[in-house]
Amino acid sequence: MTQKAMIEIMLLVAHFLQIFGTNPCSSQDHETEGLTEGLREMAMIKWDRVVVLKRFLLVLLCLGVFAEVRARADVAVFLQGALGVSGEGSSAGHVSLYFSNICADSPVELRLCKPGEMGVVIAYYPDFGTDQNHEWLAIPVLHYLYGVEDESRIPIYVNGEIRVLLREAYRRKYLSGVVSDAAIAIKPDGRWREVIGTLYNREIYSFTFKTTPKQDAAVVEKINSMSNKKRFNLLYYNCADFTREIFNTYFPGAAHRDMLNDFTMTSPKAIAKSTNGYGHRHPELLFTVTRHTQLPGPIRRSLSPRNFSEHAIKSKKYLIPQLIFKPPLTAIFAASYYTIGRFDPYKAFVEFGSDELARLNLEEYQLKKNIIPNERDDISVSGFGNTEGGSVRERPSLKTIAEKKGAEHLRLFGEKKIWDKYKADFAPILQKAIDEGLFADDKKVRTFFKDLELQSVPAFDDNNDLILKVRDYGEDHVLGLTRENILGSRSNSRLAYKLLLAIIDAQLKTGEKKRELLGSFAMNWDLMTQLSARYTAISGTNGLGSNGSSLSTPSTQRRRFLENPEKKTLKQKIQKIFILITH
């Protein structure tokens, strides 16, 4: 399919979405005041049909887009954040490898992918808790990131109970051959759990390179021939060493350790830094850096990964003793880090954050080096190198490339005035929700993620999509947790609206380096708007739900949603204070 045809199809689908995507209640809120019960039901039936149509068109669009993306083989280094108290010790994080053209017949046997498959992530841990003490497992990428089988089932909210449910469901369906019930009994804390739904716990930066089928076949042969038995050694063969060994099969010498800043060890950040440098030097590999944010919910946010010299000068628990007892050490660590060890994944993300930026970087490199591209250069998105009517298009100027980069950065990240506008628009929306009794006060907006976990039990609906069964002011309700079933007729509209308000509030308060891309945030904003209109249509201005029960009465407006507040142990309080003070 040509790019021109692809764009025409996308524009056509977008046109249909614009026609059919408007909530029938959103522009006529004043007319819902006198709706009878029957009219309300008719309105919701019409709304459900719109949702189905939008879902169908979006699936068609995604099929076309993903077909284009997956036609190219890639290898990616996944740099992952450090976890809680255990990660605070070194703050090293974790690293694994994603292959878009390598799949698995089992968690321990690789093969090349078939058409339509998305590839696997290979993760290395010292103790998975498997029956045979495997050192690596291959997990399909969607399972690895989200713990689900397809994009439509990705949850918009995750808590600890959901995490347990999805991971155990995956183990029973796909991992029981290597992690049996007997193995669970022997090693109940096996780290196989950490390779299912990684984004429940961690943020991930992905450093991606174009590969060839020949390279992928060589890697399959290499990994399948390895013993896959425990070789872990913290100093000489950890997850970063495993990643370095496999990645260098593609590009010899590309990934390497940082002897000075990691005290002869290999750290995850050293692998990311060295592969990032290799991508800078080889734009023909269409190097990109993307970020997968941790899913919304009450699970503690992961910490930014650090190398050891960085941690020594930035972590108070190490810096203060140095300054008191060994001041020269601080100077040595600082000199090493700021001279050759400094690396910020977010800055790399800003520079190489999409396929379009990768192609623009390649064009810029070729123009500066006066290199004439050939037909194999995959730079068609920005136009240069394409032919139309038998002639080659004119080479763009550096100024044109810079303008296109600026436009792409604006599309991806937005700018301050855009985010300020969202914050200004959201403030009265949230205040109105508080005034109407959806939340008792501002604090309960911030604690809603945790309160929802304590007031609910996760389950699957008839379509095997994730839901929560929520105890809400003495009544039992269902809350859908995917972008599809949260709009379904069974999902409680008030709880759904509250969840999206809490998600938007958290994302707008997140710092620049941690917040969603502008496009992802806009999708959440649109979903919040749809749920607001749906909630208004069902509740009406008389404050009654579809079954006649009160949705917002004076007796419930200031009541606490959480019936039994959680009591934190002294150990939990000390751990939280420890991280806040010493990180």
Q: What is the 3-state secondary structure (H, E, C) of 324-337?
A: HHCHHHHHHHHHHH
Say what the pLDDT of residue 316 is.
84
Least confident interval from 162-166, 167-171, 383-387, 467-471 = 383-387
Q: What is the dihedral of CA 172, 176, 179, 185, to 10 degrees?
A: 60
Alpha helices in 71-202 (DSSP H): 84-88, 141-146, 160-170, 181-186
Residue 385: the pLDDT is 37
* Section 462-489 average pLDDT: 93
User: Is a pLDDT exceeding 80 seen at residue 68?
Assistant: no
pLDDT digit string, tens, across residues 445-459: 999 999 999 999 999
Average pLDDT over residues 240-249: 96
Residue 133 has what pLDDT? 86
Sign of CA dihedral 223, 226, 229, 232: negative
Tens digits of per-residue pLDDT, 82-99? 986 666 667 889 999 999
If residue 468 lies in a helix (H) or strand (E), which one and from where to where? strand 466-472
Q: Given this model, what pLDDT does residue 32 score? A: 32
> Given this model, what pLDDT does residue 230 score?
75
Residues in contact with 242: Cβ distance below 8 Å, sequence separation at least 6, in sequence order: 124, 135, 136
Residue 393 has pLDDT above 60, yes or no: no
Q: Give the number of other CB atoms < 10 A from CB of residue 394.
A: 9
How far apart, in whole angstroms, are the C-alpha atoms of residue 514 and residue 301? 10
Domain-by-domain residue ranges, the chain? Answer: 1-71, 74-307+343-351, 355-413, 430-583
DSSP states of 237-282: BSHHHHHHHHHHHHSTTSS---TTTTTTS--HHHHHHHHHHHHHH-
DSSP 195: G
Mean pLDDT estimate for the chain? 82
Q: What is the pLDDT of residue 466?
A: 96
**CA torsion sign, 502 to 507 to 509 to 514?**
positive
Whole-number Cα distances in Å, 265 to 82, 242, 309, 468: 17, 12, 12, 44
SS3 category, 196: coil
- Burial class, 518, CB count within 10 angstroms (exposed 0-12 / middle 13-18 / buried 19+): middle
* pTM score of the predicted model: 0.82
Q: Which DSSP symbol is given to 233? A: B
pLDDT band at 384 (very low <50, low <70, confident <90, very high): very low
Residue 541 and residue 551 in contact, taking contact as beta carbons nearer than 8 Å: no
The answer on pLDDT for 426 being more than 90 is: yes
Give yes or no for residue 543 having a pLDDT over 80: no
Cα–Cα distance between 85 and 33 in angstroms, integer?
52
Task: State how far the Cα of 560 lies from the Cα of 30, in Å rounded to an integer.
Answer: 30
Tell me the pLDDT tens digit for each residue of 321-356.
Answer: 889 998 999 999 999 999 999 999 999 999 999 999
Lowest mean pLDDT among 65-79, 142-156, 178-192: 65-79
pLDDT band for position 580 (cuts 50, 70, 90): low
Give me the percent of the chain exceeding a pLDDT of 90. 63
Q: pLDDT confidence of 473, banded at 50, 70, 90?
A: confident
Decide: 122 and 99 in contact? Cβ < 8 Å.
yes
Say if residue 51's pLDDT is above 90. Answer: no
Least confidently predicted of 126-130, 272-276, 527-531, 576-580: 576-580
Return the closest-CA partner of residue 79 out of 309, 233, 247: 247
Tens digits of residue pLDDT in 105-161: 999 999 999 999 999 999 999 889 888 889 999 999 999 999 999 999 999 999 999
Give the per-residue pLDDT at 53.
42
Q: Is residue 28 scored above 90 in pLDDT?
A: no
- Residue 579: the pLDDT is 64
Decide if pLDDT at 217 tops 70. yes
Which has more pLDDT, 552 or 65? 552
Higher pLDDT, 307 or 234: 307
Signed CA dihedral, 393, 398, 400, 406: sign only: positive
What percentage of the chain reaches a pLDDT higher than 70? Answer: 76
